[in-house]
């Protein structure tokens, strides 16, 4: 083969290789564009789900909820949904990891809202039943009225017993901020551990024994503190992440306990408004706000 033919052969092979590389690069770009397009669609769908959830919260806020504590919890969850929705809108479609986290957080908020809705429905049903009973009492004679009052008192006592038996109730929770030497501090920049002192109310109808207590600490930007795939617990037919857990032995009497939340050395503590939610026996038993100052 002459040098000229050899050069021609080399040029042909180079041309084929370049053409193949261009085709491969074109395919890669097309696949990347399709992935971005798919993530854009998923992000838009997730935004619609958050917007629908926000509308649901608006609807429940219009209801006559005769429970200040429940009303406050509902308002905080509503604000949390608005904050997460705003974050989602500002998140790029290419940030698949954060979109997945926001999708998982949506499932958690829905589960918590489902529990609030159950409580609202229970309150409304109780109020409706009592209203009917009171009307009947007014329309009947004194003898029947007395009898109905006795039945109402018995039903009320039974309702209160069933309610107490259904779940534990955490009545208070206080925060102590500790530095790296486990000394108390008031500055967020010095905090290396959070100490929560809590009280669970007396409940003689609750089955005594060892119970698992789970806590979720939500940071000012709506992120779960210490989230990990290995740290999950069952709640409302889902498995949701928790920040910390501990076992306690409950006897039915008032229980005072302490739990700790150590912070990673490289974790930068934010100043601002936090929330800690406590769960036990598959129920949300307490939710408390706290603030870390600079």
User: What homologous superfamily does CATH list for 169-292?
Assistant: Immunoglobulins (2.60.40.10)
Q: How far apart are CA 190 and CA 183, in angstroms?
A: 10
Strand partners for 165? none
- Tens-digit pLDDT profile for residues 72-105: 777 777 777 777 778 767 777 667 777 778 778 7
If you search the block for the tokens 């940071």, which residue do you land on?
Answer: 219
The pLDDT value recorded for residue 138 is 73
Band (285; pLDDT cuts 50, 70, 90): very high
- Tens-digit pLDDT profile for residues 229-278: 889 999 988 899 999 999 999 999 999 999 999 998 888 888 899 999 99
Q: Which residue has the higher pLDDT, 153 or 192?
A: 192
Q: How far apart are CA 80 and CA 274, in angstroms?
A: 11
Domain locations along the chain: 3-108, 169-292
Band (1; pLDDT cuts 50, 70, 90): low
Q: Please count the CA atoms within 13 angstroms of the CA of 188 that sit on its side-chain side.
A: 15
Position 195 pLDDT exceeds 90: yes
Whether the Cβ atoms of residue 246 and residue 260 lie closer than 8 Å to each other = no
Whether the Cβ atoms of residue 149 and residue 137 lie closer than 8 Å to each other = yes
Q: Which residue has the higher pLDDT, 44 or 221?
A: 221
Per DSSP (E only), the strands in the chain are: 170-178, 193-200, 209-218, 232-235, 238-241, 244-250, 255-262, 272-280, 283-292
Rounded alpha-carbon distances, angstroms, from residue 68 to 19, 111, 142, 200, 248: 70, 21, 35, 20, 29
> For the chain, what percent of residues have pLDDT higher than 70?
69
Token pair of 12, please?
């042909």
Q: Please give the model's pTM, rounded to 2 decimal places.
A: 0.47
């Amino acid at each position: 083969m002459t040098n000229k033919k050899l050069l021609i052969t080399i040029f042909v092979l180079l041309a084929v290789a370049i053409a193949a590389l261009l085709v491969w690069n074109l395919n890669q770009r097309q696949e990347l564009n399709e992935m971005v397009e798919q993530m854009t669609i998923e992000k838009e769908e997730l935004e619609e789900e958050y917007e629908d959830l926000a509308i649901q919260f608006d609807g429940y806020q219009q209801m006559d909820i005769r429970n200040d504590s429940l009303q406050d919890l509902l308002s905080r969850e509503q604000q949390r949904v608005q904050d997460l929705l705003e974050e989602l809108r500002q998140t790029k479609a290419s940030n698949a990891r954060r979109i997945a986290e926001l999708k998982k957080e949506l499932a958690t908020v829905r589960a918590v809202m489902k529990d609030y809705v159950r409580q609202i429905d229970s309150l409304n049903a109780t109020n409706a039943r009592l209203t009917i009973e009171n009307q009947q009492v007014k329309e009947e004679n004194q003898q029947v009225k007395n009898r109905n009052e006795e039945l109402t008192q018995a039903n009320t006592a039974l309702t209160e017993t069933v309610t107490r038996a259904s779940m534990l109730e955490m009545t208070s929770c206080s925060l102590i901020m500790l530095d790296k030497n486990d000394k108390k501090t008031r500055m967020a920049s010095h905090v290396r551990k959070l100490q929560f002192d809590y009280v669970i109310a007396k409940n003689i109808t609750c089955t005594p024994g060892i119970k698992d207590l789970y806590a979720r600490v939500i940071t000012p930007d709506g992120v779960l503190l210490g989230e990990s795939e290995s740290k999950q617990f069952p709640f409302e037919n889902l498995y949701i992440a928790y920040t910390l857990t501990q076992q306690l032995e409950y006897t039915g009497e008032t229980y005072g306990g302490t739990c700790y939340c150590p912070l990673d050395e490289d974790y930068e503590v934010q100043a601002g408004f936090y929330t800690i939610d406590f769960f036990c026996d598959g129920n949300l038993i307490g939710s408390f706000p706290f603030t870390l100052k600079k």
